């Protein structure tokens, strides 16, 4: 490496572990991952757990599991911000010794009083600098430490998504960086960590855009160059509405539980507010090969549920058989309340069901009849299709099926042909639908011959027999 080479790209994902992995955070993580991978850089995970009351280990675990489920891997970490407070406090001491920070004795009550007066007089409140030039020492009694900002001057940066951004220092005022109980404040911790971890690109939610001027001031005070900042617009629902926990799926675990495949969710997330020509389908490798901050749209990030359903169906179609069976099994176990294990029948069944549902949950629901021998009959279907007139042909079909010595789509079809030949007025549809009700309890299933073939002879015959018992006497 020569002096003129830019430093290797280092990005970070810095979740606050106070809940599940939220959709917006997952997208931020994905962008950081994609950018690092695209440029042969490194992704660092930093858990921002300094808010002791809200941070939990359980949430940290959920966040990391969510990342893994999405296929987002990282190179360093997870590091915990709470374990670095000595570094944060050392930076405060440095700032005090260089005069970029000073001790402030103003109490909360005094500050509140002055703030109220200022606002009542129609002015905007920023710290009024009462302790700014007092040169208070450590023995000044209870105190906070404030960052000394220039009185004027642009704290600006060229945001990789929003373009030229910034605020005048006078609008921010001297902010507290160490509390009176000796704890470092959040913005200081973020800047010190990003600096010491050599982060070159801070890619994060646009809700942090307003925090950036103060953070830039901290970089300058620490005599360091700020990284590149890229703020990505927050995700909104279709129609531009804020996502709501009650109405929308908002955590990665919600989507997993709803039967969305990780490949589909990752593809969906990367395309929310980012595009590359008119390409819609992106494998993980394609994301890493083409992701670019310049193409992140600063104005919109709409989550379109129909698009996700479409993508999920696409990835379900692409799944190799064994993977599909493995993905579906937990859902089948759940909807049938039985432990489902892989079998040849299940492998054949999933092929029949592949294109029949948009999620694994839907497909599992449509496949309940295959697992459960106790059929959940739909009352309407029984009344409509299991009428006295169907009794004799259904009995004949039962007997013909029972006699078969080889069970296949072709052989069961020959039984239907024979029964239709015997009962002249009967049409295929009129026979197939009662059989479908017998086998599945309802009127929706794959083709009737395929359904019989996959269910097997013994189970099929037993179900037709049970249906014959449901037919009322003529
Ligand atoms: N911990 C912050 C959050 O979860 C992120 C801070 C940052 O990216 O600078 O919103």
Residues classed as catalytic:
245
Q: Which ligand 1 atom minimizes the distance to the CA of 25?
A: 4
pLDDT tens digits for the chain (474 residues)?
455 677 799 999 999 999 899 999 999 999 999 999 999 999 999 999 988 889 999 999 999 999 999 999 999 999 999 999 999 999 999 999 999 999 999 999 999 999 999 999 999 999 999 999 999 999 999 999 999 999 899 999 999 999 999 999 999 999 999 999 999 999 999 999 999 999 999 999 999 999 999 999 999 999 999 999 999 999 988 777 887 777 777 899 999 999 999 999 999 999 999 999 999 999 999 999 999 999 999 887 888 999 999 999 999 999 999 999 999 999 999 999 999 999 999 999 999 999 999 999 999 999 999 999 889 999 999 999 999 999 999 999 999 999 999 999 999 999 999 999 999 899 999 999 999 999 999 999 999 999 999 999 999 999 999 999 999 998
- Measured in Å, residue 204 CA sits from the centre of ligand 1 at 7
Angle at 263 between CA 260 and CA 265, to 5 degrees: 50
Instruction: Decide: 244 and 310 in contact? Cβ < 8 Å.
Output: no
Which value, to the nearest 10 degrees, does the dihedral of the CA atoms of residues 316, 320, 325, 331 take?
-20
Overall fold of domain 379-468:
Arc Repressor Mutant, subunit A (1.10.10)
First to last CA, the chain: 91
Ligand 1 pocket mutation, candidates 12, 22, 84, 190, criterion most atoms within 8 A of CB: 190
Cite the residue boundaries of each domain of the chain with CATH code 3.40.50.620: 85-232
Tell me how far apart the alpha carbons of residues 125 and 105 are, in angstroms, rounded to a whole number.
18
Which pTM value belongs to this model?
0.92
Q: How far is the CA of 285 from the centre of ligand 1 (A)?
A: 26
The strand pairing partners of 13, in sequence order, are 45
From 37, 43, 36, 41, select the one nearest 15 (Cα to Cα). Answer: 43
State how far the Cα of 436 lies from the Cα of 448, in Å rounded to an integer. Answer: 7
CATH of 85-232 among 3.40.50.620, 1.10.20.10, 3.10.450.40, 3.90.1110.10: 3.40.50.620
Q: Which two tokens stand for residue 311?
A: 């993508």
User: Which residues of the chain does CATH 1.10.8 include?
Assistant: 320-373
Q: How far out from the chain centre does Cα 237 lie?
A: 14
What is the C-alpha separation between 150 and 277, in angstroms, rounded?
45
Enumerate residues lining ligand 1, CB below 6 A.
14-16, 48, 190, 204, 208
Ligand 1 centroid – CA 25 distance (Å):
9
Contact 173, 182 (CB under 8 A): no
Q: Which of 48, 207, 232 to mutate to test the pocket of ligand 1 (most atoms within 8 A of CB)?
A: 48
Ligand 1, atom 6, lies closest to the CA of 14
Beta strand 302-303 with 236-237 is parallel
CATH number of this structure's domain 320-373, picked from the four choices 3.30.300, 1.10.8, 1.10.1060, 1.10.287: 1.10.8
For the record, the structure tokens of 403 come out as: 């006699």
Q: Calculate helix-pair angle for 391-403, 428-440, nearest 10 degrees.
A: 70
Cα–Cα distance, 143 to 107 (Å, whole number): 8
Ligand 1 nearest atom to the CA of residue 215, by list position: 9
Work out which ligand 1 atom sits closest to the CA atom of 48: 1
**In ligand 1, which atom is closest to the CA atom of 211?**
9
């Amino acid at each position: 490496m020569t002096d003129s080479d830019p430093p290797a790209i280092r990005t970070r994902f810095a979740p606050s572990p106070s809940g599940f992995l939220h959709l917006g955070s997952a997208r931020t993580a994905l962008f950081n991952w994609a950018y690092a991978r695209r440029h042969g850089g490194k992704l660092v995970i930093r858990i921002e757990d300094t808010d002791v009351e809200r941070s939990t280990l359980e949430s940290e675990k959920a966040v990391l599991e969510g990342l893994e489920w999405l296929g987002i891997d990282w190179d360093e970490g997870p590091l915990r911000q709470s374990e670095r407070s000595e570094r944060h406090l050392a930076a405060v001491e440095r700032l005090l010794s260089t005069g970029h920070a000073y001790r402030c004795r103003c109490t909360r009550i005094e500050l509140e009083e002055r703030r109220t007066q200022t606002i009542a007089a129609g002015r905007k409140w920023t710290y009024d600098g009462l302790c700014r030039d007092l040169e208070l020492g450590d023995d000044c009694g209870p105190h906070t430490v404030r960052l000394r900002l220039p009185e004027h001057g642009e704290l600006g940066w060229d945001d990789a998504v929003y373009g030229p951004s910034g605020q005048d220092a006078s609008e921010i005022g001297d902010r507290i960086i160490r509390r009176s109980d000796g704890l470092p404040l959040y913005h200081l911790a973020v800047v010190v960590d990003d600096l010491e971890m050599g982060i070159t690109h801070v890619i994060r939610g646009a809700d942090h855009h307003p925090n950036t001027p103060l953070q830039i001031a901290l970089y300058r005070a620490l005599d360091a160059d700020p990284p590149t900042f890229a703020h990505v617009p927050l995700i909104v629902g279709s129609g531009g509405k804020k996502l709501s926990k009650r109405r929308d799926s908002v955590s990665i675990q919600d989507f997993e539980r709803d039967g969305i495949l990780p490949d589909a969710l990752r593809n969906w997330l990367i395309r929310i507010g980012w595009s590359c020509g008119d390409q819609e389908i992106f494998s993980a490798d394609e994301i890493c090969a083409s992701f670019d901050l310049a193409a992140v749209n600063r104005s919109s990030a709409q989550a379109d549920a129909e698009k996700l359903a479409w993508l999920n169906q696409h990835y379900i179609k692409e799944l190799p058989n064994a993977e599909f069976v493995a993905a579906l099994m937990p859902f089948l176990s759940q909807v049938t309340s039985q432990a489902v294990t892989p079998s040849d029948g299940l492998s054949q069944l999933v092929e029949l069901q592949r294109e029949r549902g948009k999620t694994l949950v839907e497909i599992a629901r449509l496949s309940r009849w295959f697992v459960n021998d106790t059929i959940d009959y739909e009352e309407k279907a029984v009344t409509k299709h299991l009428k006295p007139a169907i009794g004799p042909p259904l009995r004949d079909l039962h007997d013909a099926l029972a006699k078969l010595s080889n069970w296949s789509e072709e052989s069961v079809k020959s039984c239907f042909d024979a029964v239709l030949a015997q009962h002249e007025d009967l049409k295929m549809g009129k026979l197939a639908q009662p059989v479908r009700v017998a086998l599945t309890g309802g009127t929706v299933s794959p083709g009737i011959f395929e359904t019989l073939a996959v269910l097997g002879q013994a189970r099929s015959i037993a179900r037709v027999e049970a249906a014959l018992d449901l037919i009322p006497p003529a």
